[in-house]
Structure 1
Amino acid sequence: MAEILFPALFLLLALGIPVAFAMAISVFAAISLASSYPHLVVVKEMFSGLDSFPLLAVPFFILASEIMTGGAVTLAILRLAQSFVGHMRGGLGHANVISSAMFAGISGSALADAAGPGTMMIRMMEKGGYDRPYAGALTIASAVVGPIIPPSITMIIYAMQDQEVSVGSLFMAGVLPGLLITAMVLIANARISRRRNYASGAPMPPLAEIARIALYALPALFLVILIVGGIRFGIFTPTEASVIAVFYALFVGMFVYRSLRLADLPGIVLRAALTSGAVLLILGAARAFAWVLIIESVPQFLAETIIAWELSPIVFLLTVNVLLLGFGLFMDPLPGVMILVPILAPISFALGIDPNHFAVIVIVNLTLGLTTPPVGSLIFVVSSTVSLKPSTLVREMPPFFLALGAALLLITFVPALSTWLPRISGF
């Protein structure tokens, strides 16, 4: 079946079929043409992939994100980021990057980062004298931290595929790599701003003003502390944390920022339901796709082949980087995690690689695929919001590809970036 499964998948993706439907159709084609299994088994496997208590965290975190991304919360984060760095050369670009890192602790999604504060920052940067294509490319690069800084939907899905890690340990493992990626994109923005003379005319606000802005933004930023701290100290499970996040978001939106009305809730719930449905459809299709691979013994074959090569851990990780970067050109992170992690994670564990370290490498690699054509979702989200051709944005991306690539290499060669916080936190 595998000889039909993969060609069918790549053909459907090349034709522009959505990932979930491409995977499901390719599975049906493989079963129809090369097996005696009934088609009902595909539906069964899709439902089995969704029949999971930890998976309930995904729609609740999406709902909390929708509630928290109202105008007042987003503006509070943008104002805080701008108060820190807005007076520097390239300050609006720096504010874009820092606000994405802050917003990552609320949304857990790269696409939400780009479509929310990223869109607002693009408009602000254009008014401040930045080229619109550059502002869009910077937003694409800075949004990469969305699934890496906790809470992260991708990390929840990863923990379901690898029994050697937990959601809590992955949340802690993503903090330093996320900050590293933020720092590398800041450096790239500083160099480009100096070369293009993107100056800032805004003076540095007084410390009292910065403190007032920070205090106003604190309730929004406290969400990540509540989630990670509660999981770390065993107060609640990740699934329970997602429900608590929803109630906390409702409280903050209604009673702290007072930007959320009861009349807004039906629209918010509808948007969260549509997003959750799309995510869960991808996960169900990926489960059926992975089932075919298991039936065909593809994971076992690849594992035996790679182990027979007797690669050192570093060479294996570099090989995995190349594989995942190539895979990310055509596949979104969530199906990538469900298909590849059951194959690669046991091999990495057998080679003595820390499971949290390997998990972060996989997630960063697959997330970088969102920034690269031909399927890069971040490119198309930003291009639609700023009315630019995707090719125009891609031409501005090479400096950021270098910055993100350097961050990936540091994460690969310095395991402590991913293992130190989980270790001292008791994970």
Structure 2
Amino acid sequence: MLVPQRLFTGIDSFPLMAVPFFILAAELMTGGRITDLLVRFACQLIGNVRGGLGYANVIMAIFMAGISGSALADAAGPGSVIIRMMRQAGYPAPYAAALTASSAIIAPIIPPSIIMIIYALTDNSVSVIGLFLAGIVPGLMLGMSLLAVNWWLSRRNDYTFPMARPAWAQFLKDSWKVFPALVMPAIILGGIHGGIFTPTEASAVAAVYAFLVGRFVIGTLSIRQIPRILVSTAIMTSAVLLVVSMATIFAYMLTVLQIPQGISQAIASWGLSPTILLIVVSLFLLICGLFLDTLPAVIILVPILAPLAQNAGIDPLHFAMVVILNLTIGMITPPVGAVLFVVTVVAKIPIFTLARAIIPMLMAELLVFALIVFFPAFTTWLPNLFGYSR
């Protein structure tokens, strides 16, 4: 009797309505060919430099992160476009695929982010807008680390980019086309911070805004595409919410069996300092990220770990970003790296080849993660500035 009840109550939440609307907004942007325009804009922004398409790959991922909030969507959609362009330009397929996979995980870090919404529902000590603000600096740091890796590998292997800079008139024209898409994150964050709408209502605003931009501003979204977009949104939403509801059952069983309490008491008895506790939790999450997907991992592990962090005096937003970034990096680590599997299908290369090629990018992102762990200001500065930290 409890299983069907928990399946329903696990997703019977008003804030969870933000998930389908943010997915719909991303699908409308993709259906309106915003993705192609962003790829073209990123390429034009870099110009004819060594490793230019690699830079464009990362910059495009940062742009898309402010629209989609899903690493899998970015890897499968715009990721397939940029991989094809890089291969045609002479970049090795494993390198193009590895850079695309590692840049795709920026999407859950820069707002809007589906995983942040789920985390805020799991831990009442943080808010959605607080998490959104806390993710901006770490997301940009991930992007800069990948740009640095691309610079090093491009110089080492002489990766070239044959596309010349366009004329200023053409560049300004293309920039104007993508400008409405680029300001969508600012509209979402500004509206929530200004009290104009709630995070859930912001997702609906984002969907309407994406439709208006694609249909009337850019003019590439046709009415005939809407049924296909709605079906695709429904399928993706169903997959996400089924994962959430099933993970809720598992989390409920853990609570009934008092496993979180037992683990919390055991770790608390060690008397660890906040920094050592973060290191222990980070290692534990890195191991979990090898085998668990991000959403069920958040629902299952956060009720166990968040009270430990609060009792140790760790800022809830700082701890939340440590957990989210840790589990997100797990999406590109074998054997259960979801983004790796998507990119291997898109790029048509073996997963072992991709896993070897992604090592430099993974090391760079782990370095960023270490900075986030040891320097809380990277995550708490913006929330503190706007009054969303404790």
On whether the aligned pair clears a TM of 0.5, the verdict is: yes
The code of the aligned residue for 1:147 comes to: P
1:146 aligns with 2:107: yes
Cα drift, residue 209 of structure 1: 4.4
Q: How do residues 225-236 of structure 1 correspond to structure 2 at under 5 angstroms?
A: 225-236=186-197
Secondary structure of 2:67's counterpart equals helix
Report the Cα distance in structure 2 between the residues aligned to 1:292 and 1:383, rounded to whole angstroms: 35
Structure 1: runs of 5+ lacking an equivalent:
1-39
1:370 aligns with 2:342: no
Cα drift, residue 389 of structure 1: 1.2
The code of the aligned residue for 1:424 comes to: L
The code of the aligned residue for 2:50 comes to: R
Q: How do residues 239-388 of structure 1 correspond to structure 2 at under 5 angstroms?
A: 239-388=200-349
1:55 aligns with 2:16: yes
171, 180, 184: which one aligns with 2:132: 171
211, 216, 231: which one aligns with 2:177: 216
Cα drift, residue 211 of structure 1: 3.4
Q: Deviations over 1:98-123 (max 9, x none)?
A: 10011010000001111111110001
- Counterpart of 1:421 in structure 2 is 382
39, 57, 61: which one aligns with 1:100: 61
The code of the aligned residue for 1:47 comes to: F
Report the Cα distance in structure 2 between the residues aligned to 1:311 and 1:52, rounded to whole angstroms: 36
78, 86, 89: which one aligns with 1:128: 89
Report the Cα distance in structure 2 between the residues aligned to 1:64 and 1:296, rounded to whole angstroms: 40
Report the Cα distance in structure 2 between the residues aligned to 1:125 and 1:390, rounded to whole angstroms: 19
- Closer, same or farther in 2 for the Cα pair 1:172/1:253, shift >3 Å? same
Secondary structure of 2:110's counterpart equals coil
Q: How do residues 15-34 of structure 1 correspond to structure 2 at under 5 angstroms?
A: none
Moved over 6 A (4+): none
Secondary structure of 1:145's counterpart equals coil
- Counterpart of 1:4 in structure 2 is none
What CA RMSD, in Å, does the superposition of the two structures yield over aligned residues? 1.2
**8 Å CA contact retained: 2:123, 2:302:** yes
More moved, 237-246 vs 196-205: 196-205
Q: Deviations over 1:218-271 (max 9, x none)?
A: 111121111111111111001101111111111011101111111111110000
**8 Å CA contact retained: 1:98, 1:182:** yes
98, 101, 113: which one aligns with 1:137: 98
More moved, 279-288 vs 204-213: 204-213
- Counterpart of 1:412 in structure 2 is 373
- Counterpart of 1:17 in structure 2 is none
Q: How many residues align?
A: 388
**8 Å CA contact retained: 2:69, 2:114:** yes
Structure 2: runs of 5+ lacking an equivalent:
none
- Counterpart of 2:30 in structure 1 is 69
- Counterpart of 1:84 in structure 2 is 45
Report the Cα distance in structure 1 between the residues aligned to 2:327 and 2:171, rounded to whole angstroms: 36
Report the Cα distance in structure 1 between the residues aligned to 2:255 and 2:363, rounded to whole angstroms: 36
**8 Å CA contact retained: 2:31, 2:225:** no
Secondary structure of 1:107's counterpart equals coil
**8 Å CA contact retained: 1:155, 1:171:** yes
**8 Å CA contact retained: 1:67, 1:249:** yes
156, 162, 177: which one aligns with 1:201: 162
Q: Deviations over 1:34-85 (max 9, x none)?
A: xxxxxx1122112111111101111111111111112530122112211222
Report the Cα distance in structure 2 between the residues aligned to 1:133 and 1:70, rounded to whole angstroms: 28
57, 69, 79: which one aligns with 1:118: 79
**8 Å CA contact retained: 1:149, 1:178:** yes
Q: Deviations over 1:120-174 (max 9, x none)?
A: 0001111111001110011010011010000000000000011111000000000
Report the Cα distance in structure 2 between the residues aligned to 1:416 and 1:204, rounded to whole angstroms: 38
Name the TM-score, length of structure 1 as normaliser: 0.89
Report the Cα distance in structure 2 between the residues aligned to 1:212 and 1:164, rounded to whole angstroms: 45
- Counterpart of 1:29 in structure 2 is none
- Counterpart of 2:144 in structure 1 is 183
Q: Percent identity?
A: 49
